[in-house]
Structure 1
């Protein structure tokens, strides 16, 4: 398809028309008396919503020049959402006003670069002024007020305030659609990974289909364990101090899995095998997180360690480990506070640097 080219006022007018269409649609949701927008869905019923960035993401305009303007404004809303997590509608309305006045001044003969420098100077001044005027939200009551306003529901606001008070500022809150009519809340204590037990033979609570081990020693490796000879020396060392063992590995199968299951059923070992979470570099980072939390070491051939060299000092500890088919939770790991705090600071720095929304969310869950 041949490219179309526009210049000067003609180009600005087309882009501004697209900006206005998007901003006028998003802007109706702004403020305490903001209205909802209904989004048509290809699958399922229409969605009634008042979230600016969600509405903006749904807008695609037929005219390609207008659509370019809308996409630029959409980018501003998305960036605001990534950095602040809120304020997307306000950012959209402000951007529309800045663009409108900027185009007006350019049409009157103003230098575009001088306008840009003036906007940058104003931003610095305004940020300081807003910072001076801002009031930090403190206490459950104020959180409930803000949440109730955002959710348009006082009961939901109170629930969110209660949850935020419990999980703290670094906790992760996930909102999901309920299967019933009532609001429900569920707290996950400790560190949770999205991998469960390798075999149902490790289940210790058949009613809940869970495996729960109290005060286990935790062996962490990025290796796939198939031969019993690979893991036998480590198990012999572990059995000198405890029968409660959790093994986190890329996978456990064949002869090694059969041996662990037989010893579990005989009562020789109270053992649980869990698949390592994630893939590639992310897996390495998550295994290191588990090691720091539990005070253990990751046994990896990349650092010159093999399973037959495992000593009791290499193993992590936790007060309890609970595993289902889908996930595993480590409660009260024995890692030192200094190591855990150091890792948290490192993860926070990674969140600041990453440009991927997916990586940012996954990394934030690690801190929680």
Structure 2
């Protein structure tokens, strides 16, 4: 039976052993990404056992590719994934905040503050900081707002070509679509070695035609989408071994042959499949100039269906009449296969308008990173349109820290120590940016705090090139409000969950069934 930490020993060190162990684990996770934050942050090289290399500045990529076993550390990976999934940016900030909250909370517990009081105080401090963030958010009025370009530029690691491409893509999509809750703008980004930067008024399918003899270009495209294989209905071997089963097999094959002819009656010249295409269908399509794209990713099938107005079907739907099937077809002006890039472009769809942002990369090694950067920029632009923007560069977090230090005096009881933990944690991302820029964090934080107090402004931060104080709003250093809000909320939730862990017990292994 596993022992409880408090039952082992009466000493404070033993009672704190689990908390400190967890704290060390989350600090190790934070240290893996802290060097990447800010305009002077550097890249990380990830190497696998076979010598494969990823060079990236992206926090969630680093964390997801790391080998992590500690349960508390895994919570931090989950935090990064949540931040990426919900707003698409700010994973490093969220990770540093959570680690700092755990560290500062543990320090208060070591001082003798009950864990429950620290946790309650952290929740109070986070709620107050979130309220101030919402209050300070400024709206983006139009795509031409220079703040929107600055947001794309910063999230895009200061790569101007990516920032401009993302803004161009956002304009083509339109504000209404960008504000839809289920629409993820970053999913419209793709990158390719040797490709040119462009915003394509259409969709891309990352697949080659099934056969090299199929047409490379089609005009007046009539598209058929199957979330299935293009093949006869399957029968098991046992059924085929009977006379009745074999006759049924021949019947299904003949029905399938007739169903293929329906494609001709419908005028179909392109077929998009989830799975494979059997040899009979392949030969039929070759003979009649029909392009077959098989094993297409679900996201790409859904996009091409929406764009062309097609309705995705299962293969059993081929038994329907030609009239019924005609209502499920999609249409586009052109379909073209780019042999160099190994992708098919569908242009001029008659369904829901969309666009694809194509990011060029000079070598295969940088394709992934260029795509990640562009996706971050796209996510940041969408977040800014939805929730407005705030001063960046760590300036607002420092202002919130100062505010909480003053507000703490209004909090009665020992919960105030938890509020202190939040105030201290909010300085962590800014301090790390200063350190990455080669300056002394203690000196520069005090310098900026004094400048903020003098100007009574939350936007005074640090110019990381000169080391002098500067107004972040005037300098164009801005971040989406939703990114900061989600990072703070998620960091608060994860840190409180880790601080609540009092005992770690290894689960027993599943019982192995006996062969006897």
Q: In structure 2, which of residues 20, 24, 28 is the aligned counterpart of residue 17 of structure 1?
A: 24
Q: In structure 2, which of residues 215, 222, 225 is the aligned counterpart of residue 220 of structure 1?
A: 225
Match of 2:137 in 1: 134
Deviations 1:217-246 (A, max 9, x none): 2233435247543222442x336xxxx722
TM-score, normalised via structure 1 length: 0.65
1:238 equivalent to 2:266? Answer: yes
Report if aligned partners of 1:144, 1:160 keep a CA contact under 8 Å in 2: no
Structure 1 residues 96, 233: CA separation in 2 closer, same or farther (over 3 Å shift)? Answer: closer
Structure 1 residues 106, 291: CA separation in 2 closer, same or farther (over 3 Å shift)? Answer: same
Match of 1:81 in 2: 84
Structure 1 residues 260, 163: CA separation in 2 closer, same or farther (over 3 Å shift)? Answer: same
Aligned length: 304
Q: Which runs of 5+ in 1 are unaligned?
A: 204-210, 265-270, 341-360
Structure 1 residues 49, 219: CA separation in 2 closer, same or farther (over 3 Å shift)? Answer: closer
Match of 1:327 in 2: 343
SS of residue matched to 2:47: coil
Distance 1:82 1:187 in 2: 24
1:192 equivalent to 2:233? Answer: no
Distance 2:310 2:54 in 1: 48
- 1:311-326 equivalences in 2 (<5 Å): 311=323, 312-323=326-337, 326=342
1:26 equivalent to 2:33? Answer: yes
Report if aligned partners of 2:206, 2:344 keep a CA contact under 8 Å in 1: yes
1:105 equivalent to 2:130? Answer: no
Q: In structure 2, which of residues 204, 213, 216 is the aligned counterpart of residue 201 of structure 1?
A: 213
- Measured after TM superposition, the shift of residue 197 of structure 1 is 1.8
Match of 2:448 in 1: none
Distance 1:111 1:132 in 2: 32
Report if aligned partners of 2:309, 2:331 keep a CA contact under 8 Å in 1: yes
Report if aligned partners of 1:192, 1:328 keep a CA contact under 8 Å in 2: yes
Match of 1:36 in 2: 42
Match of 1:160 in 2: 162
1:272 equivalent to 2:261? Answer: no
Distance 1:50 1:200 in 2: 39
Deviations 1:313-339 (A, max 9, x none): 4432211122356433322222367xx
SS of residue matched to 1:224: coil
Q: Which runs of 5+ in 2 are unaligned?
A: 6-13, 171-177, 179-184, 233-255, 355-374, 383-516
Structure 1 residues 231, 57: CA separation in 2 closer, same or farther (over 3 Å shift)? Answer: closer
Match of 1:207 in 2: none
**12-21 or 211-220, larger mean C-alpha shift:** 12-21
Deviations 1:70-106 (A, max 9, x none): 4444443443333333223322332233223322332
Report if aligned partners of 2:332, 2:349 keep a CA contact under 8 Å in 1: yes
Structure 1 residues 140, 193: CA separation in 2 closer, same or farther (over 3 Å shift)? Answer: farther
- Measured after TM superposition, the shift of residue 195 of structure 1 is 3.1
1:248 equivalent to 2:272? Answer: yes
Aligned alpha-carbon RMSD (Å): 4.1
Structure 1 residues 140, 327: CA separation in 2 closer, same or farther (over 3 Å shift)? Answer: farther
- Measured after TM superposition, the shift of residue 112 of structure 1 is 2.1
SS of residue matched to 1:16: helix
Q: In structure 1, which of residues 251, 257, 266 is the aligned counterpart of residue 282 of structure 2?
A: 257
Structure 1 residues 145, 72: CA separation in 2 closer, same or farther (over 3 Å shift)? Answer: same
Report if aligned partners of 2:205, 2:344 keep a CA contact under 8 Å in 1: yes
- Measured after TM superposition, the shift of residue 164 of structure 1 is 0.6
Distance 1:262 1:286 in 2: 26
Distance 1:115 1:195 in 2: 54
**Bigger relative contact order, structure 1 or 2 (CA pairs below 8 A, ≥6 apart):** 2
Distance 1:74 1:125 in 2: 26
SS of residue matched to 2:225: strand
Report if aligned partners of 1:37, 1:49 keep a CA contact under 8 Å in 2: yes
